[in-house]
Amino acid sequence: MSTRNFLSLLDFSPEELRLLVSRAIELKKLNRRRADPAPLKGRVLGMIFEKSSTRTRVSFETGMVQLGGHAVFLSPGDTQLGRGETVEDSARVISSMVDMIMIRTFAHSIVERFAASSSVPVINALTDRFHPCQLLADMQTYREHRGDIAGQSVAWVGDGNNMCQSYINAARQFDFELRIACPPGFEPDENIVAEGGNRIALVRKPADAVAGAALVVTDVFASMGQESEQQLRRQQFAGFQVNADLMSKAAPRAIYMHCLPAHRGEEISAELMDSPGSVIWDEAENRLHSQKALLEFLLPRGS
């Protein structure tokens, strides 16, 4: 069987993604009963982090252990990647020793180059362009709370960043309408928008994006690597906070998500994080279950 990678949601078919979400829900139930299957006994996941992480590291590492395997944490400060060994040479060597590799880095081209030289499956654990693992958890969370997302209206409020661009891919693969409200100059990549076709609409006002939406999603104003822009962005994103007033314009049973970490009181009001309608904490936990489904899928028993 040829090696599969998960660099974006478009690497899997809509049917495969739906099956992954179903399996994630099943794995969560098994985990609650402490009945995790252990198909990855003796298997190792290499985890390369060039950016910080709480959820991604804990979920992948825990997930591997629960599935019977092991995870190795690699940071540029501790490996030769940080001292100039090429991405290609690193991929060739690391993939000769481990069974799967996940990478969190800056340029998306780095995970593409890594995957091209890797002999084992490579998972994108966030680049400046996409964060597909988060979308598996988000789609699982929507399904658990509200059922099928196909045909629903989803609002993105805030920066047209890696999460927003992943939502565009999700709209294509899970078949929902996505209205995006960003301040001028912070729109998602126009090619990604164009590929999303008529499911994607760019609007200027958050209220226009949220009107009647079943799901409202936001993320930080300044992503990792943009720390120096934090102050300026706070001003440029004025009026783009998801709060109770904005949520009152959404559909009556609307839920909202945030991939976390959040800046409470900036892109989302502090009280909203824990209000009815927030599925943020389930969303975070589901990183564990959905990635276990992903790991199991990429390394089927007997492969």
Q: Which residues contact 12 (CB under 8 A, 6 or more apart)?
A: 4, 6, 20, 173
Name which of residues 242 to 301 contact ligand CP (CB under 6 A).
Answer: 259-261
> In the complex with ligand CP, which residue's Cβ is closer, 130 or 176?
130
Is residue 133 part of the annotated active site? The answer reads: no
Residue 242 found at the interface with ligand NVA (CB under 6 A) = no
Per-residue tokens: 263: 């800046």
- Rounded Cα gap, residues 297 and 287, in angstroms: 15
Q: Which of 43, 55, 108, 131 is catalytic?
A: 131
From 213, 203, 192, 260, select the one nearest 9 (Cα to Cα).
192
Rg, the chain, Cα only:
19
Name which of residues 197 to 236 contact ligand NVA (CB under 6 A).
Answer: 219-220, 223-224
Asked if residues 74 and 49 have their Cβ atoms less than 8 Å apart, the reply is: yes
Q: Which of 23, 43, 55, 104 is catalytic?
A: 104
How many helical (H) and strand (E) elements, i.e. helices and strands, does the chain have?
11, 9
Per-residue mark of binding to ligand CP, 101-130 (x: CB under 6 A): -------------------------x----
Is residue 134 part of the annotated active site? The answer reads: yes
User: Which three-class secondary structure state does DSSP give residue 222?
Assistant: coil
Is residue 204 part of the annotated active site? The answer reads: no
Beta strands 153-157; 177-181: pairing state: parallel
Residue 55 found at the interface with ligand CP (CB under 6 A) = yes
Q: Which of 66, 134, 140, 152 is catalytic?
A: 134
User: Which among ligand NVA, ligand CP, none contacts residue 219 (Cβ within 5 to 8 A by kind)?
Assistant: ligand NVA
- Rounded Cα gap, residues 160 and 243, in angstroms: 19
Stretch that binds ligand CP, among 54-62, 78-86, 87-95, 148-156 (CB under 6 A): 54-62
Q: Which of 48, 122, 163, 299 binds ligand NVA (CB under 6 A)?
A: 163
Q: Provide the binding-site residues for ligand CP, judged by CB under 6 A.
A: 53-56, 126, 134, 259-261
Residues with a known catalytic role: 104, 131, 134, 219, 259, 287
